[in-house]
């Protein structure tokens, strides 16, 4: 039947409070619901904190996860299409933190705008006004100069090349923002790089700990760039590599030799449990184990085993082992992450309480970093800080 509704009819319906908007046909997909749920967590953080989530070691793990998630949502056109109608706070296009004037002093407000104010209580007197682009450029760019004492470093690079050729040293992929220490060696933009010294640590304009380095390049030049600038450069260069230390031997085989004895795998699992706590923190709850058998066979009956939280699991990653004591390696990994062990008790099929020991509140990036440090023999030099989800250097002389 034709619709003869007039403008007057529409006005009358509107006055009566009848919603004239067309109904949205169809329901959201499960993927769209996950995207929206993740975005709503970020919105709640912004409302509670009055600012966008930050990256960086000084922030807690959840804020850093929200910051990474927001970056990925912004980069995805599919996510933008889903979220744009719901983005009432403009988070998808915000360039600065949403800190309000009520939450900041005048000095802090000026600092957040990259404006230096004289500390004479006259906050209207501005000096050294710099754009964000200029500040970023000043951080990233460190002028290379001729290394006057390169004769002392040349033998190191020559020996390094021989070690790489004979296999005494290996190169492994640099992990995003992994720790950098004095004496570390890298390949960056096709050049071998030595971190000759690390200066005193300080707090940067962004509230992050940083340090000035002396970096020597194999072409006879050097620079004094910031530690975080070197990390960013290594992250940006997709071909960057860390050069391992000698004498430790490869923990994980890149090339198998005839006399290698297969030892199994390190495996990292993620639970699919519907438990509210596990579901909320699923991305940072992982089971870490070592097995000599097939990982898929090992987890086939996971949903009936309290060791696997009585739920199916997904394999996040596996690392192949050769000529390694599996039990000793597993004990080492669990001890390293012991401060972040998941405190959870579940009843088994007979009702007996069981407390799984191999689950940890640790992001996968930290697990991968630990594996690399075991591989290059430096794991004993670090401790895991569960509050920041980062590695801190052990004080020599302390256990």
Q: What is the pLDDT of residue 167?
A: 65
Highest mean pLDDT among 23-37, 168-182, 227-241: 227-241
Do 395 and 372 touch, CB atoms closer than 8 A?
no
Residue 209 has φ and ψ, to the nearest 5°, of -75, 135
Residue 49 lies in a domain: no
Radius of gyration of the chain (CA): 27
* Cα 35 to Cα 275: distance, rounded to the nearest angstrom: 20
pLDDT per residue over 332-385, tens digit each? 899 899 999 988 877 766 777 778 888 999 998 899 888 888 877 788 788 898
For range 103-123, the mean pLDDT: 41
Residue 24 lies in a domain: no
pTM, two decimals, is: 0.39
Residues 273, 210, single domain; the answer is no
Residue 216 lies in a domain: yes
3-state secondary structure of 244: coil
Residues 110, 165, single domain; the answer is no
* Cα 265 to Cα 248: distance, rounded to the nearest angstrom: 19
Residues 231, 187, single domain; the answer is yes
Q: What is the mean pLDDT of the chain?
A: 75
Residues 123, 150, single domain; the answer is no
Query: What domain range is 377 assigned to?
Result: 262-393
Q: What is the pLDDT of residue 92?
A: 84
Q: What is the pLDDT of residue 135?
A: 46
pLDDT band at 163 (very low <50, low <70, confident <90, very high): confident
Residues 266, 387, single domain; the answer is yes
Domain count, the chain: 3
Nearest to 385 by CA among 351, 337, 352: 337
Nearest to 251 by CA among 361, 363, 378: 378
Highest mean pLDDT among 45-49, 67-71, 168-172: 67-71
* Cα 300 to Cα 296: distance, rounded to the nearest angstrom: 6
pLDDT band at 141 (very low <50, low <70, confident <90, very high): very low
Residues 278, 387, single domain; the answer is yes
Residues 282, 379, single domain; the answer is yes
pLDDT per residue over 227-283, tens digit each? 888 988 898 888 888 887 764 444 554 444 444 455 688 899 999 988 888 888 888
Tokens of 212: 């000035």
Residues 301, 387, single domain; the answer is yes
For range 322-327, the mean pLDDT: 73
Strands 241-243 and 285-291: unpaired
Residues 274, 382, single domain; the answer is yes
Residues 182, 210, single domain; the answer is yes
pLDDT per residue over 278-292, tens digit each? 888 888 999 999 888
Residue 231 has φ and ψ, to the nearest 5°, of -60, -45
pLDDT band at 97 (very low <50, low <70, confident <90, very high): very low
Nearest to 282 by CA among 65, 1, 137: 65
pLDDT band at 201 (very low <50, low <70, confident <90, very high): confident
Residues 282, 343, single domain; the answer is yes
Residue 67 lies in a domain: no
Distance from the Cα of residue 310 to its chain's centroid: 28
Final residue before a domain boundary, out of 208, 243, 278:
243
Residue 151 has φ and ψ, to the nearest 5°, of -60, -25
Residue 63 lies in a domain: no
Residue partners of 179: CB distance under 8 A and separation at least 6? 369, 382, 391, 393
Residue 166 lies in a domain: yes
Residue 282 lies in a domain: yes
Residues 222, 337, single domain; the answer is no
Residue 2 lies in a domain: no
């Amino acid at each position: 039947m034709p619709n003869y509704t007039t403008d007057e009819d529409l006005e009358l319906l509107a006055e009566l409070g009848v919603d004239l908007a067309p109904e949205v046909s169809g329901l959201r997909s499960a993927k769209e619901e996950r995207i929206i749920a993740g975005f709503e967590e970020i919105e709640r953080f912004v409302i509670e904190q009055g600012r966008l989530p930050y990256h960086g070691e000084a922030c807690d793990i959840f804020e850093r996860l929200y910051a990474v998630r927001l970056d990925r949502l912004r980069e995805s056109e599919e996510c933008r299409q889903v979220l744009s109608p719901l983005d009432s706070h403009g988070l998808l296009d915000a360039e600065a933190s949403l800190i309000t004037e009520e939450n900041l002093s005048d000095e802090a407000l000026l600092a957040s705008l990259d404006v230096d104010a004289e500390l004479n209580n006259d906050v209207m007197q501005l000096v050294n006004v710099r754009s964000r682009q200029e500040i970023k450029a000043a951080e990233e760019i460190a002028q290379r100069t001729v290394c006057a004492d390169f004769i002392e470093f040349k033998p190191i690079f020559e020996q390094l090349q021989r070690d790489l050729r004979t296999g005494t040293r290996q190169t492994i992929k640099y992990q995003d923002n992994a720790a950098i220490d004095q004496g570390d060696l890298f390949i960056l933009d096709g050049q071998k790089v030595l971190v000759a010294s690390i200066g005193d640590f300080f707090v940067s304009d962004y509230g992050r700990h940083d340090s000035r380095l002396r970096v020597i390049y194999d072409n006879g030049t050097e620079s004094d760039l910031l530690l975080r600038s070197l990390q960013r450069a290594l992250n940006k260069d997709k071909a960057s590599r860390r050069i391992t230390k000698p004498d430790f031997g490869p923990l994980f085989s890149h090339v198998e030799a005839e006399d290698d004895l297969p030892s199994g795998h390190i495996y990292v699992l993620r639970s699919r449990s519907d438990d509210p706590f596990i579901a909320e923190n699923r991305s940072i709850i992982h089971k870490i184990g070592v097995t000599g058998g097939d990982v898929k066979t090992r987890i086939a009956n996971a949903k009936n085993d309290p060791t696997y939280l009585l739920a199916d699991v997904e394999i996040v990653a596996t690392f192949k082992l050769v000529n390694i004591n599996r039990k000793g390696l597993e004990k080492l990994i669990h001890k390293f992450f012991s401060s972040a062990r998941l405190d959870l008790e579940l009843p088994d099929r007979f009702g007996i309480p069981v407390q799984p020991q191999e689950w940890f509140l640790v992001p996968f990036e930290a697990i991968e970093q630990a594996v690399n440090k075991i591989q290059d023999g430096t794991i004993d030099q670090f401790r895991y800080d569960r509050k920041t989800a980062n590695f801190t250097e052990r004080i020599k002389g302390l256990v």
